[in-house]
Amino acid sequence: MKKIILLILVLVFAIGTFSACSDGEYKVQYYVGSKLVYTEKTVNGKVSYKYPKPEKGIFKGWYLDPEYTKPFNGKVTKNMKLYGYIYVAAVPNPI
């Protein structure tokens, strides 16, 4: 009987642990260039950090890769790194 009660307690603990892992709480790291600018833990898979307006250029959004080829869709399903893309227009050289 003690073994059955112990088994039930272990199963309840395991189910509670796995349920807690899937509640959408993940760590998100925000980078601009190679610099880490912010880290947060998400709630229900949603990010809350808003990047401030850059001194130069225009902030174009968050990307899943440092090459800015995979836009972030706003859903966090795992621990991740996001890369901020800041567009700076090239200034032509005067002749």
65-77 tens-digit pLDDT:
999 999 999 899 9
Query: Mind listing the pLDDT tens digit for each residue in 44-90?
Result: 888 888 888 888 899 999 999 999 999 999 899 999 999 999 998 87
pTM metric for this prediction: 0.68
Which helix or strand (DSSP H or E) is residue 37 part of?
Answer: strand 35-41
Residue type, 54: P
Tell me the pairing of strands 58-63 and 80-87: antiparallel
**Going along the chain, which residue ranges are E strands?**
27-32, 35-41, 58-63, 80-87
